[in-house]
Structure 1
Amino acid sequence: MKFVSRIGVAVLLLHSFVSQSALAQTQLTYTTSWIGNSFGFGDGKWMQQDIQAISVGADGTVYTNAPWDESGSEIAAYRAGGKIAVAGSTHGWGNTGGDAVATNHTYLYAAMSIGNESNGLVGADYPPANQTWFGITRRTLANLATGAPFDGGRGNSANASRNSFLRLNAVTTGTDAGIRGMAATDTELYVADTYNSRIVVLDAASMRRLRSWNVPSPGRIALDTDSTLWVISGVSSGNLSILHYAADGAALSGTLALPAGTVPTDIAIAPSGQILVADNGPAQQILVFDRHAGGQPRAVAPIGTRDGLFHMVKGVPGNWRFNGITGLGVDPAGNLYVAQNGEGPRPLGSASVGQGAVLESYVLGTHAFNWRLYGLTFVDSAAFDPATPNSVYTGSKRFTLDYRRPVGQEWSYAGFTLDRFDYPDDPAFHEPRGVRGEPMVRRIDGRRYLYTLDPGAHYLNVYRFDAAHGEVAIPSGLLAQNPLPGSWPAGQPTYGEWLWRDSNGNGTVDASEITGNPSTGSTVGNGFWWVDTPGNVWLATPTSGIREMPLQGLDSAGNPIYTYASSKMFAMPQPFTRIARIVYIAATDTMYITGFTSAIPWDPTHWKEAGPVLARYDNWSTGTPTQQYSISLPWNTQSNPQTTTVGVAVAGNYIFVAELYTAKVDVYDTRTGQAIGYMTPGASVGNTSGWVDVYLGISAVQRDNGEYVVLLEDDARAKILMYRWTP
């Protein structure tokens, strides 16, 4: 590596140091909007971030369930494209939602679990130490927020759902004993006890056990018009089939013959008597089976575009282009309801929340479109394509913006960039949370590239695009500060930094394509990645300065080339003792740094923060940078909520600093460091947002008309917050 003298840097810094205590006290005049959710929360509504199961009522109400929604909408109700209810009491204090839901004319039955939050919760409402309960919560359809208690019911004694939880399994914490299927009549409730490989039948009113029978790891259940049951079997093994049973558990003939490659995820019965099966295999369709007298159900033409969202043009959403079906339902009028999360049902033992929720409805007979709802982003920030401020990328989505449209309607869902079928080796699937997030979009030689960070900013993923793959981002490279846990990928070093470049262009991480860092062999740990406009990669190490890996061109497959041998190291400048964030503007050779100083040192309780100080350095790459100013950012760890910073963006003449807990963006002049004002969420989003909870959670752009558009992660309600401000 090439090193720049730290002594030279320090001398020039002392000559140019201008300290400013710049707190933005004036609220600016701006517009608040959002991207990626059908509701902004201005009316108190939001579309949940994941749907694992649905049940459809006779009036077309769709009831949902998922283990987790950040704002507590695990169990909710939707009708005619609107959100009408949230159940509550399935979020926090040990409670989570689940993977199954059923309704009859009176009750909603939903899978859920109750834990004790690392043995911190005690009492009759909670399991004993090191144990988790899995079971069913019962609610009235008239008021989902109110539990429907029964003898033997337990849990939540301090809220409206008290004594309405039935414990089915009590297991060691860390074991997934969740219910994966349910179906109900007005008299009986059928429950797939996946963990114990049995179907359990309960009295729908008393919740007492009536009978049970063995089925190999059962999943979704559909009640047929003749009161028989269709059951997905083999959830634990992955060897999935659909079995047929009488209501008393007797095995019946007429099992469904599934095409090769089918991954059945749900079953529904149409008013015509047709059996519908959701296929989360590569076909991404709904299989249809007709009945004929005395014979096996017979497959007829499936519903939906073959290959779903990955039909040509790949990644482009549209009607009947499914992507990860998790739930099916049909109402008596023949309306079809399809829930998707870009992934499919949560694997056993996984904490996945999917890749963004979609709930849509069609008319079965005519295939006419009814309505659609989106909850597309979670722990996912957004960034602009430098070629146009009308195109925005998140980790796995692309949106187009029409700034002429009303607040909350500027965005259109244009692309899903993550392809689990063509590129199962995408590093995003193997990194923490199994999703892409925190994007940077760059144009190199006119070509578009996507760079993304994992939530902890340990790994920098590189993606390229080509016409043949449409909206799909093709895995191109990976720069890792340390080895990934587990056995993937083969060939990574056991210790220290490494990088991968897809030199053969197949989108697979081959061991021969992995290079370790020969200079140190050690991990740099907890640094922050930045990619500048020309495509050079910068790594801000916490205590060892800043490293540049200059772009070495593109290889024959179109991948950016980076090498450790060509790296340059820049010493940490004063006044910093720990660097947290950087933004380098190559056009002006300007480096913006935030972090900690000896006056306010870093402490591990603020591991994700951007720090209390921001400084600008000119002539950065010369080795003798000049500090133009140093700003004291908002910082008070004794307040409630705490005031700390988490993200930095620079566009045009302004710096935008996101605060972590206070839903506030502070704005500074890039030229002087002077505070200009601040922005907070407006009425269109309920005057609130979730935390900006990732390292690169804010971005900004200046449009040709002078307007600034600032995008922030909203960790609470499955959207990207958008501010529009004209100075």
Structure 2
Amino acid sequence: MTVKVSTRFAAVLIALGSLISIGAAAQSQLTYTTSWIGNTFGFGDGKWMQQDIQAINVAPDGTVFTNSPWDESGSEIAAYKNGDKIAVAGATHGWGAAGGDAIASNHTYVYAAMSIGNQNNRLVGADYPPAGTTWFGITRRLLSNIAVGAPFDSGIGNSANTTKNSFLRVNAIATGTDAGLRGLAATDAELYASDTYGNQIIVFDANTMRRLRSWSVAAPGRIAIDTDSSVWVMSGVGTASISVLHYSSTGAPLPGTVALPTGAVPADIAISPAGQILIADNGARQQVLVYAKTASGATQQTGVLGTLYGIFHDPKGTPGAWRFNGVTGVGFDQAGNFFVAQNGEGPRPLASATVGQGAVLESYKYPTRSLNWQLQGLTFVDAAAFDPASPNSVYTGSKRFTMDYAQPPGHEWKYAGFTLDRFDFPDDPAFHQPRGVRGEPMVRRINGQPYLFTLDPGAHYLNVYRFDAAHDEVAIPSGLLAQNPLPGSWPAGQPTYGEWMWRDTDGDGHVDASEITGNPSTGSTVGNGFWWVDAPGNVWLATPASGIREMPLQGFDSVGNPVYTYASSKMFPMPAPFSRIARIVYIAGTDTMYVSGYTSSLPWDATHWKEAGRILVRYDNWSSGTPTPVYTIELPWNASSNPQVTPVGVAVADDYVFVAELYTPKVDVYDARSGQMVGYMTPGAAVGNTTGWVDVYLGISAVRRDNGEYVVLLEDDARAKILMYRWTP
């Protein structure tokens, strides 16, 4: 490898000590509008659509109860009706508690799978399991108020809240093993539970919660009680072969085992008002299979619900009615309305911490199939960026939204595209990186064509995607630049140490060992650097302690992938006064570099590993031979306050610099020409005057519209949305 060290930089750097440091003391709140993208509710009314749904249960009156192991703001178990959110269960979030993967109800109670841990043995007492152990079981709540527990004689847990003694412990297992229940079904008399870990169906008295009987089923999952009181059970959860079995209420095998089509991956079971058996297929078909029972007791497939291939039917990646994407639950109410939950992924694998790719809950009339209502909670640990071709098109890591800024707050956006295709491109590097969720986008137009670049939450990996007409909204994996090897065995051919890159030279979107190139010169691991892609498509890497590297775009290969090489890299040494770099923004059109980080007098410490630094410096003529530092901004910083005040993200749009604070819901705005503080923005009433942390490295972006309005987008780590500010200077 040949690394070109810029002698221009080494020779000429104007001393920053002669410049005026611009502090953040005098601040005023700007006049702006607060809005949001990606969630049906903004939280101004106290509501938000949860970020994941792993299971649903539909009550006769059309109330839909949901469950998932994790929602950032505690809505693991919730209730929805007529397109509105009507309740949050609570007591399933924090202090060792988590939600689960199954839920059921009868006319009196709601039963939900959950777990109770001890937070790495920090929680002790009767409410918590002993050291090294996690409890998995069922929380029972009142149907009339799911925030209130329905205690019973053998119930335990939560002695300090309204769900005291309403938890039934089914499994006490070594922490780290997933022994959660994957199926629940209830009548007014009995509760059926799938003990997936124990390979059995357990039947409890629905009122006393005492164990009545059990029978063996290999890795059971979802359960549905038929109109004749027989039971349909998924078997083989966590394996490559899931089947649907039929039992009497006492566990005797019955005829009618469902013959599934090749490639089907059962995700849930429901019984229609007419007695049909519906099976959600989370395989490539993305449909709901409809079966009828014959006179002999056998089953016969009679139809399907949903578009073949779901959201990936042409035009690929385009959402719409009956275009399913990762079905996790189905059900009916007594009026015959059909309900379906999706999370862009399907039921989570055993021992997985995934929270899906965004939740969608829909209701349809059945069998006429018209849409009743839809709720969306589409983003989590995901930032947003504008398409340079138009501020009316916004990308997150795996979504695209179209914007109509004439609409009122919270209604400007429309879900237009799902860009992540797990069926055509299972080798998408995003699936193999931390969290398995594609986030933190940068969109660039190169020769008029769109390219998507995304970061993992820690900015260790830069993913590259191209688009073509055949794949519509779907982004095709094109390349990957890695600061270090990915943990585990994927991909085959990556080096055991050091930097490496992949380019999809054969255009199939899969990572082949022959397509991987290591850094031949240093063989080093950069570590906690920060990637930036400029408007012409050149890739910049801010290393923490070794300066800034540019990898100029070398053109495109025969299939349209951007080409980068280590040999063509240019290295710019650490600019004074920095001792560590945290973020960069390079504006190629003006040859302006914005750098934020730390100095010897304002040093970095490991407890603030994700922050953007203590100062920000603008350099003009960055690559001309005489880079000129123009001003230094002292970024907001108070590590001793509660909450702490530290910056986490930097965005530049035309005449302004926008700095997102991490723990405090605030964006500080500076004049990009002078560095002077202009004012700040905090969340308004439309979003409940609050937002979650901006919890990723590239969590803020901004654009200036033709009418002079600036639109600023931020990750909202709390309530499954993108926070949006609209400000006209």
* TM bracket, shorter-chain basis: over 0.9
Q: Give 2:120's aligned amino acid.
A: S
Paired residues of 2:13 and 2:628 also in contact (CA < 8 A):
no
Shift in alpha-carbon separation, 1:417–1:545, aligned structure 2, 3 A: same
Q: Structure 2: which 5+ runs fail to align? A: none
- Give CA-to-partner distance per residue, 1:95-131, whole Å, 9 cap, x none: 0000000000000000000001111111111111111
Any idea what SS the aligned residue of 1:112 has?
A: strand
- Matches of 1:636 and 1:9 in 2, distance apart? 36
Structure 1 position 11, deviation (Å) = 3.9
Aligned match of 1:145: 147
Q: Which aligned segments of 4 or more residues in structure 1 are displaced greater than 6 angstroms?
A: none
Shift in alpha-carbon separation, 1:6–1:93, aligned structure 2, 3 A: farther
Q: Give 2:318's aligned amino acid.
A: V
Structure 1 position 160, deviation (Å) = 0.7
Paired residues of 1:9 and 1:625 also in contact (CA < 8 A):
no
1:459 has 2:461 as partner: yes
1:84 has 2:62 as partner: no
Pairing 1:259-270 to 2, within 5 Å after superposition? 259-270=261-272
Pairing 1:150-299 to 2, within 5 Å after superposition? 150-299=152-301
Structure 1 position 294, deviation (Å) = 2.1
Aligned match of 1:509: 511
- Give CA-to-partner distance per residue, 1:132-179, whole Å, 9 cap, x none: 110000000111111111111111111111111011001111000000
Q: TM-score, normalised by structure 2?
A: 0.99
Aligned match of 2:398: 396
Paired residues of 2:699 and 2:715 also in contact (CA < 8 A):
yes
1:315 has 2:348 as partner: no
Paired residues of 1:24 and 1:667 also in contact (CA < 8 A):
no
Q: Give 1:682's aligned amino acid.
A: G
- Matches of 1:143 and 1:107 in 2, distance apart? 9
Aligned match of 2:712: 710
Aligned match of 2:387: 385
Any idea what SS the aligned residue of 2:14 has?
A: helix
Paired residues of 2:577 and 2:599 also in contact (CA < 8 A):
yes
- Matches of 2:171 and 2:72 in 1, distance apart? 25
Structure 1 position 9, deviation (Å) = 5.7
Aligned match of 1:672: 674
- Matches of 2:478 and 2:75 in 1, distance apart? 37
Pairing 1:331-350 to 2, within 5 Å after superposition? 331-350=333-352
Q: Give 1:292's aligned amino acid.
A: T
Pairing 1:302-451 to 2, within 5 Å after superposition? 302-451=304-453
Structure 1 position 5, deviation (Å) = 3.5
Q: Give 2:394's aligned amino acid.
A: V
Shift in alpha-carbon separation, 1:513–1:7, aligned structure 2, 3 A: closer
1:484 to 486, 496, 510: 486
Aligned match of 1:55: 57
Paired residues of 1:198 and 1:212 also in contact (CA < 8 A):
yes
Paired residues of 1:113 and 1:135 also in contact (CA < 8 A):
yes
Any idea what SS the aligned residue of 1:621 has?
A: coil
Pairing 1:11-26 to 2, within 5 Å after superposition? 11-14=13-16, 17-23=19-25, 25-26=27-28
Paired residues of 1:386 and 1:441 also in contact (CA < 8 A):
yes
Paired residues of 2:507 and 2:559 also in contact (CA < 8 A):
yes
Structure 1 position 12, deviation (Å) = 2.0
- Matches of 2:17 and 2:11 in 1, distance apart? 10
Shift in alpha-carbon separation, 1:9–1:194, aligned structure 2, 3 A: farther
Paired residues of 1:22 and 1:673 also in contact (CA < 8 A):
no
- Matches of 1:246 and 1:678 in 2, distance apart? 65
Q: Structure 1: which 5+ runs fail to align? A: none
Structure 1 position 624, deviation (Å) = 2.7
- Give CA-to-partner distance per residue, 1:549-599, whole Å, 9 cap, x none: 000001111000000000000111111111000000000000001101112
1:64 to 63, 66, 69: 66
Any idea what SS the aligned residue of 1:468 has?
A: helix
Structure 1 position 295, deviation (Å) = 4.2
RMSD: 0.9
1:473 to 460, 475, 493: 475
- Give CA-to-partner distance per residue, 1:242-291, whole Å, 9 cap, x none: 00000001010111110000000000000011110000000000000012
Q: Give 1:126's aligned amino acid.
A: Y
- Matches of 1:15 and 1:404 in 2, distance apart? 47
- Give CA-to-partner distance per residue, 1:183-217, whole Å, 9 cap, x none: 00000000000000000000000100000000000
- Matches of 1:5 and 1:129 in 2, distance apart? 59
1:588 has 2:595 as partner: no
1:698 to 697, 700, 705: 700
Q: Give 1:98's aligned amino acid.
A: G
2:565 to 563, 575, 584: 563
- Give CA-to-partner distance per residue, 1:639-680, whole Å, 9 cap, x none: 010000000000010000000011000000000000000000
Paired residues of 1:305 and 1:320 also in contact (CA < 8 A):
yes
Paired residues of 1:579 and 1:595 also in contact (CA < 8 A):
yes
Structure 1 position 17, deviation (Å) = 2.8
- Give CA-to-partner distance per residue, 1:65-102, whole Å, 9 cap, x none: 00000000000000000000000000000000000000
- Matches of 1:483 and 1:407 in 2, distance apart? 43
- Matches of 1:498 and 1:402 in 2, distance apart? 41
- Matches of 1:670 and 1:159 in 2, distance apart? 51
- Matches of 1:585 and 1:71 in 2, distance apart? 37
Paired residues of 2:498 and 2:518 also in contact (CA < 8 A):
yes
Q: How many residues align?
A: 727
Any idea what SS the aligned residue of 1:450 has?
A: strand
- Matches of 1:462 and 1:245 in 2, distance apart? 50
Aligned match of 2:617: 615
Structure 1 position 365, deviation (Å) = 1.3
Aligned match of 2:521: 519
Shift in alpha-carbon separation, 1:129–1:108, aligned structure 2, 3 A: same
Any idea what SS the aligned residue of 1:348 has?
A: coil
Q: Give 1:53's aligned amino acid.
A: A
Paired residues of 2:9 and 2:572 also in contact (CA < 8 A):
no
Structure 1 position 16, deviation (Å) = 5.9
- Matches of 1:23 and 1:524 in 2, distance apart? 35
- Matches of 1:21 and 1:399 in 2, distance apart? 37
Aligned match of 1:634: 636
- Matches of 1:428 and 1:326 in 2, distance apart? 21
Any idea what SS the aligned residue of 2:184 has?
A: strand
Paired residues of 1:48 and 1:717 also in contact (CA < 8 A):
yes
Paired residues of 2:13 and 2:576 also in contact (CA < 8 A):
no
1:95 to 94, 97, 104: 97
Shift in alpha-carbon separation, 1:546–1:7, aligned structure 2, 3 A: closer
Aligned match of 2:575: 573
Shift in alpha-carbon separation, 1:18–1:620, aligned structure 2, 3 A: same
- Matches of 1:683 and 1:24 in 2, distance apart? 24
- Matches of 1:617 and 1:211 in 2, distance apart? 74
Aligned match of 2:531: 529
Q: Give 1:481's aligned amino acid.
A: Q
- Matches of 2:336 and 2:35 in 1, distance apart? 36
Any idea what SS the aligned residue of 2:193 has?
A: strand
